Amino acid sequence: MKDLFPFVIIVGIIAAVIVGIIWRIYAERKRTEKMQQAAKTLGLPFYSTGDPALLNKLANFRLFTQGRSRKIKNMIHGETEEVEIGIFDY
């Protein structure tokens, strides 16, 4: 029985990692669905992969120089005569 203990620990860790990955994928899909629904409610276009041109426009803000991937996703973006709005995950 002692010989199986390390094996059980390793299998448990692997299972926890797999469950974590599956949960993250599920949570990301749910967030995308909710952002898409919000865009529809607001009557604004939704871009699941974001807009690299917007990221270039925002490059002067310190926030957008932080992080590794520096990508925009789940973007709601629209313009009126008075204002431009962009809601997204960074």
Looking at residue 3, its pLDDT comes to 81
Quote the strand ranges of the chain, DSSP E: 46-47, 73-79, 84-89
Q: What residue spans define the domains of the chain?
A: 2-89
- Nearest 5°: the CA angle 28, 59, 77 is 50
CA dist 21 to 18, 25, 53, 67, 74, Å?
A: 5, 6, 30, 21, 19
- Nearest 5°: the CA angle 64, 69, 73 is 75
Over its length of 90 residues, how does the chain's per-residue pLDDT go in tens digits?
Answer: 678 888 899 999 999 999 999 999 999 999 999 999 999 998 899 999 887 777 788 888 888 888 787 788 999 988 878 888 889 988
Looking at residue 1, its pLDDT comes to 61
Task: Decide: pTM greater than 0.95.
Answer: no
